[in-house]
Amino acid sequence: MRLAKFLAHAGVASRRAAEDIVREGRVTVGGEVVTDPARDVDETSRVAVDGRGLRGAEERTVYLVNKPRGVVSTAKDTHGRPTVVSLIRGERARLYPVGRLDADTTGLILLTNDGELANQLTHPKFQVPKTYVAEVTGGFVPEARLRQMREGVELEDGKTAPAQVRQVDAGVLQITIREGKKRQVRRMIEAIGRRVVSLRRVRFGPLGLGDLPPGKSRKLTPAEVERLRKTAKA
C-alpha cells in the first residue's frame, strides 16, 4: 500500500493532507525519514509520524457536529482557539474535519478518521451538495439577483457553478452549492451587492443538521455512513 494511503487509513489525515505530511519530512519508515508519498509500506514497515508509531488502520468513524460561531474547523489551533475536534469527548480515534467552515459560519460539519471517505466527500469531481441558510443585509432580495446566483457569479478565482437558491423569507436565502471555493457563499452574496449577517450550513450530502444543539455532536450510524459513501461516488 502507498504510504499516503496507509496514513489515511490509519486516521492521520485525508490522503491529500497525508501527502503533504510526508513531503514535509514528518514521516519515518523503519526509522528513516521518507518524503515520497508513493513509497510502498505495510503493517510491518514501522511507520511513524512525528515520532509516534502507527499500528495500521483504526476503526472508521464519522461524527456530525453542529459547529458554534467562533470555533475553528481544524484539529489544532496555534492561537489557542476552540476547535471542532475539541467538541468530541471520549473518542480515542484521531479525528479531523471534512472540509472547513470559517470561524463565523455555524452548522453542520463532519469529523472522521476515514481519509478515503473525507477525500471523496471534498473532491470537486464528486460534487457533493452542501446547503446553507444565509441572512443577508438589505431585506428582500430581488429575483434578478437570485437568478445571478443560480446561473453563476464571477469571483476573483473564476465563475461559480450554478447554485440552487430560494428566498425562504425576506433577506433569508437557502443556497445549495456543489463546489468548495474558499468562503464561496459569502463571496457570492457580496457579488450581488449584499453582505452576510449570519450563515449556517444545514445539510451535507444526504445528512441534515436536524435539531442537534450548537456545540453538540453525534456519531453517524453505519447506514448513514454508507449513504455518504454512495453520495460521494454518485
Catalytic residue list? 102
Query: Cα dihedral sign for 170, 174, 179, 180?
Result: positive
Q: What are phi and psi of 78, to 5 degrees?
A: -70, -15
> Can you point out the beta strands (E) in 17-142?
27-29, 32-33, 47-49, 52-53, 62-67, 96-97, 106-112, 130-136
Nearest 5°: the CA angle 209, 213, 216 is 90
108, 202 contact by CB (below 8 A): yes
How far is 110 from 182, CA to CA, in rounded Å? Answer: 17
Q: What are phi and psi of 53, to 5 degrees?
A: -70, 150
Helices and strands: H and E segment counts in the chain: 6, 15
